[in-house]
Structure 1
């Protein structure tokens, strides 16, 4: 049975419709130092536990989502739209 992901716009959809695009990190200010931008663009933590990621619903509504999931169990805790933060609990 395919894993279903609850999209805030499309409802329960197969995980194959989504593309994981990386950590949902706060952007540095536009006038931040070169070192801050370097860290933001190139350096990543590899956390164990709860983590926010940007996912794209590529084969569905094509919206950008923030998915909160546990990196150890892969259990999804919540999903929200990037723009309006319409939350959906998994």
Structure 2
């Protein structure tokens, strides 16, 4: 089971208190966008083996969204950070690189 810490309210709890909202750092496309871009946004998602960045919501707490960096193979959580961040913070990237040397960095 994952243990996540909400960066908004500081509560650490099991994943059942949170709701996974899919891949983080997506460029969202809406009405008026190119059909191919909109289709890719709606249906194409990464399903990596290894480090993955996800969007979570503290469903049974403050209700706010945040991002989490974790390994899909080991379920290790490298850290959580605000959903308003455009890329993972440097300290989380450094922690990932130290524990998973094969990681090529955030793309």
Aligning the two structures, in what range does the TM-score lie when normalised by the shorter sequence? 0.7 to 0.9
Normalising to structure 2: TM-score of the pair?
Answer: 0.67
What secondary structure is seen at the aligned counterpart in 2 of 1:45? coil
1:3/1:32 CA distance change after superposition, 3 Å? closer
More strand by share: 1
- What is residue 7 of structure 1 aligned with on the other side? 6
Unpaired runs of 5+ in structure 1?
none
Normalised to the residue count of structure 1, the TM-score between the two structures is 0.78
Question: CA offsets per residue over residues 34-82 of structure 1, 9 Å max, x none?
Answer: 1011111111222101111111100011110111111111111110121
- Whether contact under 8 Å (2:29, 2:41) holds in the other structure is no
| 1:32 Cα deviation after fit | 4.3
RMSD of equivalent CA atoms: 2.6
How far did 1:11 drift?
2.7
Residues matched between the structures, number: 88
SS in 2 for 1:27: coil
Question: Which residue in 1 is equivalent to 2:61?
Answer: 60
Conserved 8 A contact 1:63-1:81? no
Show the counterpart of 1:46.
47
